[in-house]
Amino acid sequence: MVFHLLKKWFSFSDVKNKTSRMARLSLAMLRREYFGKPLLEEYLGDDPFELFDAWFEDAAREIKDDPNAMILSTSGKEGQPSSRTVLLKGYTREGFVFFTNYQSRKGKQISFNPRVSLLFYWPGLVRQVIVEGVAEKIAEEESETYFKSRPAGSQISAIASPQSDVVDSRAELEERARFIEQQTSESEIKRPAHWGGYLVRPHRIEFWQGRINRLHDRICYQRKGDEKKWKRVRLAP
Ligand SMILES: Cc1cc2nc3c(=O)[nH]c(=O)nc-3n(C[C@H](O)[C@H](O)[C@H](O)COP(=O)(O)O)c2cc1C
């Protein structure tokens, strides 16, 4: 019996090893050539937002789903970075806006350390944009206006979900949502004070364009403190 079990385990672990070796091999072979459009200084101005406008327009046209998805990275007390996807809901020369729960893990980290990074990757265009900056809460009225524009179901979920907290079950969340739905008519749904927007004021914006033979283009705009003017440099890929 013991021999039989041992034999079974060994043959299983052999299969497991073979599979992970195969996965490793095929991952190493996952490779594509990047034929992006050149990103050359002669066509660039001093304002990174001019380039962001053009790239975002391309992304909105070419990327079917969530061209406005971006990876938000934050870090809290322990200095441990954490990342997640959020949606860009607006931007101006001042910065980039997204909405979330202020009491979530990211919200707590931002209140401890407002320095954050945003990353857009648009695979079809072989383009990446990385923003580094400082996050601040937007005005309550702006959060109010955006909250009101959301579908009722999303508004209810924002109230029902204690984002990032451990919950007992899916059923518990659904029950909370159902309770709120039954208690409130659509016109009465109120934005919870802990839900709203952040504006990320950038001091560094890097544009990466994938190019042939991995000799990519990287153009980085930086400014210090309250400086209005941006300094533009090219970085090695
Ligand atoms: C495509 C996509 C879009 C998302 N957009 C948002 C968003 O705009 N705001 C938000 O709070 N969470 C959004 N999420 C969920 C977050 O990635 C994350 O799970 C949640 O905010 C909790 O993060 P935290 O626990 O690190 O605070 C999105 C997730 C995906 C995959």
Domain ranges of the chain: 32-140+194-234
Average pLDDT over residues 106-120: 98
Of residues 185 and 211, more confidence is placed in 211
Give me the percent of the chain exceeding a pLDDT of 70. 92
State the DSSP code for 84.
E
Query: Residue 234 is inside which H or E element, if any?
Result: strand 231-234
For this structure, is 214 an active site residue?
yes
Provide the pLDDT for residue 139: 98
Cα 65 to averaged position of ligand 1 atoms, centre (Å):
15
Facing residues of 90 across strands? 97
> How far apart are alpha carbons 169 and 85 in whole angstroms?
23
Is the confidence at residue 219, as pLDDT, over 90?
yes
Taken in order 195, 75, 72, 221, is the CA torsion positive or negative? positive
**Count of residues making up the chain:** 237
Average pLDDT over residues 25-40: 91
Beta-sheet pairing, 69-75 with 81-87: antiparallel
Is the confidence at residue 10, as pLDDT, over 50?
no
Label residue 19 by pLDDT band (50, 70, 90): low
Facing residues of 85 across strands? 71
Average pLDDT over residues 37-43: 95
Helix, strand, or coil (residue 102): coil
Provide the pLDDT for residue 172: 97
Taken in order 152, 153, 154, 157, is the CA torsion positive or negative? positive
> How far apart are alpha carbons 38 and 15 in whole angstroms?
46
Q: Which residues line ligand 1 (CB under 6 A)?
A: 66, 69, 82, 84-87, 98-100, 104-106, 163-164
- Please determine, looking at this structure, whether the domain spanning 32-140+194-234 carries the CATH number 2.30.110.10: yes
Is the confidence at residue 132, as pLDDT, over 50?
yes
Cα 86 to averaged position of ligand 1 atoms, centre (Å):
5
Provide the pLDDT for residue 49: 98
Label residue 14 by pLDDT band (50, 70, 90): low
Residue type, 202: P
Q: Report residue 108: phi and psi, to 5°.
A: -65, -40
Provide the pLDDT for residue 187: 80
Cα 99 to averaged position of ligand 1 atoms, centre (Å):
9
User: What is the CA 32 to chain-centroid distance, rounded?
Assistant: 24
Provide the pLDDT for residue 4: 56
Facing residues of 217 across strands? 209
Average pLDDT over residues 187-210: 96
Provide the pLDDT for residue 8: 55
Label residue 103 by pLDDT band (50, 70, 90): very high
Residue among 71, 86, 103 whose CB has most ligand 1 atoms within 8 A, to mutate = 86
Q: Which of 129, 130, 127 is nearest to 211 (CA)?
A: 127
Residue type, 25: L
Residue among 64, 73, 75, 100 whose CB has most ligand 1 atoms within 8 A, to mutate = 100
| 8 A C-beta contact, residue 206 and residue 130 | yes
Provide the pLDDT for residue 188: 85
Helix, strand, or coil (residue 153): helix
Catalytically annotated residue among 214, 218, 232, 234: 214
Cα 92 to averaged position of ligand 1 atoms, centre (Å):
22
